[in-house]
Amino acid sequence: MSNSPIRCLISAGPTREYFDPVRFLSNPSSGKMGYALAEAAASLGWFVNLVSGPVALECPPGCLRTSVVTGQEMFDAVNGLFPECDILIMTAAVMDYRPVERSTAKIKKDQLSMNIEMEPTIDILKTVTLQKTRQMVVGFAAETNDVEAYALRKMEEKRCDFIVANQVGQPGQGFESDTNRVLLLSPDGLHKVIGPDSKRAIATELVSFFNSKLRNS
Ligand code: CTP
């Protein structure tokens, strides 16, 4: 690869799926890992497009942010930017299902069904990588158990060159935390533990690893 700036696309944060204007299904993702990666990438001189779900974080200096809410909006943004990027890093915690019906008016509590019918949302990573050409693709895997086995399966199914696996559901790791410990895996057998450390330090290490891979490809 030449010395021109690396064009990077990062997704971060949660998505929300509303069933009326004031109620939604989501998850506790804070976006911290994705934003730390965006910051680390921009500080290496990469051109960074950050597609972000609703989070309470400032856009890191030097990054271009597209704010989205639903999985479909995140798909549209990521899909549109993917062809022009050199590397996609998909940290977003995308809701896997959404209510089949979305009421335009607030549903009164005595009229709300206790069984909301759901349908799957689009798998953004699995779908955009169908059009993968030269891009390096990095997935994330959030698991409560059997972390490595599930992450390896996701890496293959979603056509990733690397997957960053992390355990969630415990204090000091994963969602909302400032610290993390991750396992970086590749289809050719890379098995690298990074952390426990701050999400910033882990992001710096990951980005410098991807930088050297892209520069030497
Ligand atoms: N992902 C995605 N679109 C979805 C769900 C997940 O692009 N609808 C991406 C995530 O951004 C992440 C990877 O796929 O890079 C794995 O996400 P994760 O939530 O760990 O797994 P899921 O595929 O949702 O599977 P499961 O919930 O069964 O673990």
Q: Is residue 105 scored above 80 in pLDDT?
A: yes
Pairing mode, strands 136-143 and 179-185: unpaired
Summarised one tens digit per residue, pLDDT across range 6-40 is 999 999 999 999 999 999 999 999 999 999 999 99
Ligand 1 proximity of 94 Cβ (cutoff 6 Å): yes
Whether residue 132 is predicted with pLDDT greater than 80 in this model: the reply is yes
- 154, 157, 167, 168: which to mutate for ligand 1, most atoms within 8 A of CB? 154
Ligand 1: nearest atom to the Cα of 78: 7
Q: What is the pLDDT of residue 151?
A: 98
Question: What percent of the chain is modeled with pLDDT above 70?
Answer: 97
CATH 2.40.70.10 assigned to domain 7-215? The reply is no
Cα torsion angle, 192, 198, 203, 208, sign: negative
**85, 1 Cβ separation under 8 angstroms:** no
Model confidence, pTM: 0.96
Judge whether residue 183 has pLDDT over 90: yes
Tokens of 168: 């969630």
* Alpha-carbon gap, residue 185 to 145, rounded angstroms: 16
